[in-house]
Chains A and B, each alone.
Chain A
């Protein structure tokens, strides 16, 4: 199948309006005859389910958590971007568009990104109307802050809990439709298989996680809003349950997987402490507004710190290396995430890391505390304040800004970040890659759509901070509810889809066989044992820096791991009833296959761009070396039986409105 992105003709700024006006409508009477399945209830899923139901479609929504409110969008901290220009700092739809294209290292689609920037403004209006309590200033109007990689203040926020507030807003819209009976909600249900009938996505096999029963659900279209696949690394900032199964099942049934190797490694997370760690915790990017990142300038100091013989507060200013400020004077500590992460890795690999494992750098608030303390002393009229007075005043200001994050850090590490610098290290956070979709957000399977982090389309090779929430809600509230019309308008005479067809029969049988295999496997190792090994391979070879040799090794190692997994995994209990270990086994099986495809994709992409850094392709200064001549395309992989044999389709990216430049933050 040839890739057709279906980007509407016409000038960039008019494409969406024109296209929206031309999408065939489905009359209200006909909408009542059409069923839509939405899998996942994060920002994209909740907002899409609510909007589609409101328009009149019959919606069935599924989530594996015990309530739609718990989807991992809830954990987003920093904020949501929108081109409102409330701060009068020169922001515009075009600037948000341009920053996103540039931030993504010129590997995203112009038309999709521009649409995202256009609807960003509606999101804020919509959320405020729903009662989302964004931060406000003393005049009662909305407040903004700044994020990495941009030079305007366009980020709307609700303390360090913006994702929570936006998700609860979407959840309330969803609840309103559930109460009206327009959405039927299936919590503690997980999609196990996509059902394709006559080449169209017509339903799913879902597992009731409480009873263990498999259920057939049919619909005229299936929307996958199932998030990213960061858990392929085992340790990530994703929730424990986040997984790739829904997307991967669609991939196996014909949906192309696009740019799977584009992974975002977030620079400021709490470092790994031990072998039994289950997940990593993010420290919001907003901290880089005030924190300065450094490592000791002398290797012997770093060694002494690691041995516990030296305290960071005892290292003199001239013996500290503020490496981001040194390398990127223009953006300093606020360079984009991929750049900051690589710079931390470079210092740690060179032997300057500062915790027991040698994989941590400092994020230091001492200078900010003194700066704010002096300001406060002046404001409060404190004469001749002592150093201790200044520190105490400054700590209060920092607490007001970042209190919840500092508390979270102290709970996890038992170290007080007001008194000594935080230790941070990059961690897997977000996946820009995902299911390939056209302009209508439809995958290469007609009738199967992908929204939010589950698709690939808007962030290119690197996502900017506060843009994930924007994309999730844009897709769910304002894009998919309209664009599904093009597909569904042809279905008004189809009638209800039967679940008795051979396709449903076969899909259910496949799921049952898979399940029984795990239960009867009688292996010796737990699911986590394999998941942790997969994570190590991925982190070491398909993580922040990749090279040909390592990627080839990773592919061989993952293939061997897959065989061992199927031969030796041990799942206790039975298939009839609740069995979280069994559910986990299915998820890890899919992550193992995905991991191999990620390595293959990274191996094929002989350039460095955004989050994808190939060691062979870097400048003399160690910066990413993009190859626009040969790699300005989207890699869309078609499943052909095993990941190693996946077939590559290229969607050429054309840039008509921005000039391709080397991304510089110096």
Chain B
């Protein structure tokens, strides 16, 4: 198929970026979206043009490294997939495709389509862990029974891949879905209780420090989330936050 690609090019964090047009032909339906970009890059190299920079790694929808805003949607058309799982059969010959980076104040652009999502790591460092030493001499695993329903919900929250689609999609660039996923995982498990209050207060505080916006319940994040992380997690985080704010000794 023949396509017209409009791609955001930006030489560096401080450089001025712009949309550039690249016609491309010979794209096959079985290619993934990123393979189509590989194919473009091979042609650009042949022409002596610097290839387009984009983040990617596992190419099977789990590492969370790929991003891209495709035709105005995080990870492009299709639900519950990442860009690397998007295939060219979703497009037709003659289409024009707009490819932009994830945009948010807290995700500064590094180059072209690559952004800096280290703010997510800093939110996790603020409390996304259970303080247990790695001696292996904890209690036997089955000494902590967890009701299956809670275990399943904790798992569902824990499947967040930290890609940032929620932030890129949100009109407020809020990271509430991301932060609430980790907070919920531990909030639903007995192991997470001792530090629950500090955790939610610290992680929400870090989220604000990083420059992410607030949640106004539009729910776009849940729609675009490749892992289908539920809005219920945000509600749980808000409940936990309110409780912790009122009852914490800090």
Instruction: Show the binding face of A for B, using Cβ within 8 Å.
Output: 47, 50-51, 54, 65-70, 72, 74-75, 84, 86, 119, 122-131, 133-142, 158-159, 161, 163-165, 168, 171-173, 175-176, 178-179, 185, 187, 210, 237, 239-241, 273-274, 276-279, 281-282, 407-408, 411-412, 414, 477-478, 481, 526, 528-529, 570, 572-573, 577-578, 580-581
Contacts and interface: CB of A to CB of B under 8 A. Distances in A.
Contacts of B126: 179
Contacts of B59: 239-240, 278-279, 281
Contacts of B128: 172, 175
Contacts of A173: 129, 134
**Is chain B's interface secondary structure helix, strand, loop, or mixed overall?**
loop
Interface stretch (B37-45, B92-100, B232-240, B241-249): B37-45
Contacts of B72: none
Contacts of A481: 134
Nearest to A48: B134
Contact of A130 (B48, B60, B132, B152): B132
A573 B50 contact: yes
Contacts, number: 214
Interface string B106-143: 00001100101110110011101111111111111110
Contacts of B87: 411-412, 414
Contacts of A185: 121
Interface string B168-195: 0000000000000000011001011000
Contacts of B142: 86, 141-142
Interface stretch (B155-163, B208-216, B217-225): B155-163
5 contacts: A125-B137, A125-B138, A133-B155, A165-B155, A572-B48
Given A126-B136, A131-B192, A276-B35, 20 more contacts: A54-B133, A67-B118, A74-B58, A74-B63, A75-B62, A134-B151, A136-B151, A138-B148, A158-B158, A163-B62, A165-B155, A175-B128, A240-B56, A241-B57, A276-B39, A277-B31, A408-B85, A526-B41, A526-B45, A570-B45
A129 B63 contact: no
A210 B110 CA distance: 7
B193 to A, nearest CB: 10
Contacts of A179: 125-126
A86 B143 CA distance: 12
Contacts of A140: 145-148, 151
Given A119-B136, A273-B30, A572-B50, A66 B118 contact: yes
A75 B63 contact: yes
B68 interface: no
Given A124-B141, A130-B129, A168-B158, A414 B89 contact: yes
A176 B131 contact: yes
Interface residues of B, number: 79
Nearest to A122: B136
A67 B57 contact: no
Most chain-B Cβ atoms within 10 A of its Cβ — which of A128, A138, A414, A481?
A: A128
Contacts of A124: 141
A274 B58 contact: no
A158 B65 contact: no
Contacts of A128: 138, 141, 144, 191
A163 B50 CA distance: 35
A477 B7 CA distance: 44
Most chain-A Cβ atoms within 10 A of its Cβ — which of B39, B85, B135, B140?
A: B135
A126 B138 CA distance: 6
B230 interface: no
Contacts of B65: 65-66, 70
A161 B63 CA distance: 11
Given A129-B132, A161-B159, A175-B124, A578 B110 contact: yes
Contact of A139 (B110, B116, B125, B145): B145
A70 B57 contact: yes
B163 to A, nearest CB: 10
A336 B157 CA distance: 33
A408 B60 CA distance: 8
Interface in B20-48: 28, 30-32, 34-35, 38-39, 41-42, 45-46, 48
B86 to A, nearest CB: 8
Given A65-B65, A131-B185, A526-B42, A122 B137 contact: yes
Contact of B134 (A51, A168, A580): A51
A264 to B, nearest CB: 17
B64 interface: yes
B61 interface: yes
Given A69-B162, A125-B141, A133 B130 contact: no
Contacts of A580: 51, 53
Nearest to B110: A210
B70 interface: no
Contact of B57 (A122, A142, A165, A239): A239
A133 B134 contact: no
Contacts of A168: 158
Nearest to A478: B136
Nearest to A528: B42
B154 interface: yes
Contacts of B231: none
Nearest to B131: A176
B148 A172 contact: no
A412 B85 contact: yes
Contacts of B39: 276
Contacts of A414: 87, 89
Contact of A65 (B32, B63, B124, B140): B63
Contact of A123 (B50, B62, B136): B136
A641 B20 CA distance: 46
The 4 closest A-B pairs by CB, nearest first: A122-B136, A140-B145, A172-B129, A133-B155
Nearest to A68: B121
Given A65-B57, A274-B31, A573-B50, A161 B85 contact: no
A77 to B, nearest CB: 9
